[in-house]
Amino acid sequence: MRYPKVISLALGLVLVGLGGWGVWHALLGQDEVQPTLAAGSFLQLDYIKEDAAFASELSQAKQQADRWNAQAELAAISMRFDGGLGYDFLTRYVYLFQAPGLSSSYAVNNPRVKTEVRHSYDRTEIFGDEVVPVSIAGEYLKINFVQALEIVEQTGGSNFRANHPGDYYVNLLLVQPERDVLSWVVSYQDKSGEDNQVWRVNAANGAVELR
């Protein structure tokens, strides 16, 4: 049975065109914007109503990971939307867990997406040799994926989608490399791979950095 590669799910597709984890270097020194969500929604999803579902589904994934290792901690979340921003367009929703003292990582698929992923991965297979993800602390995860999308939509994502109607992917990666902040990295790319735009949304306060 062929399983989708988490390495491509979590990195290659999300950070396409930016040299992998170089996205953080590409974003350094760019202007920060503190957007408002009061101007009206661009999405079918309501970030307030979805917050409880986001927390509940993360808790269920954590319970599955606990059966792998009782000390499992969330390391990343990877998502992809194909041609729209609603659950009907969601084609990837994967949680990645790690545990102290282990070099392996454990992937859990969100049941909203009916695909299979291989559960066990060597950490370097996903993150490479240079990046060490910090386990995600709940107190810093204040912005859910719907809020991150809403912020990016108002910052320019909606214009990208308007210029590529139905012919785009939107990828999200929640991760915190060492000596960095917990962020949603949100990439918009056309399906030809010729055009892409990337933003980083601080998961604690919603500040967005433009590439």
Sign of CA dihedral 48, 84, 172, 107: positive
Examine residue 109 and state whether it is found in any structural domain, yes or no: yes
Confidence band (pLDDT; 50, 70, 90) for 126? low
Range of the domain at 80: 6-210
Q: DSSP states of the chain as a string?
A: -----HHIIIIITTTTTTTGGGHHHHHTTPPEE---STT---SSS-TTHHHHHHHHHHHHHHHHHHHH-TT-EEEEEEEEEESSSSGGGEEEEEEEEE-TT-SEEEEEE-TTS-----SEEEHHHHHTTT--BPPPPGGG--S-HHHHHHHHIIIIIHHHHHHSTT-EEEEEEEE-BTTS--EEEEEEEETTSS-EEEEEEETTT--EEE-
Examine residue 126 and state whether it is found in any structural domain, yes or no: yes
Examine residue 1 and state whether it is found in any structural domain, yes or no: no
CA atoms within 13 A on the CB side of 50: 16
Overall number of domains in the chain: 1
Express each pLDDT in 181-205 by its tens digit. 999 999 999 998 889 999 999 999 9
Q: Indicate whether 116 pLDDT > 80.
A: no
Examine residue 44 and state whether it is found in any structural domain, yes or no: yes
**Amino acid at site 16:** V
Express each pLDDT in 66-100 by its tens digit. 999 999 999 999 999 999 999 999 999 999 999 99
Express each pLDDT in 53-67 by its tens digit. 999 999 999 999 999
**Amino acid at site 3:** Y
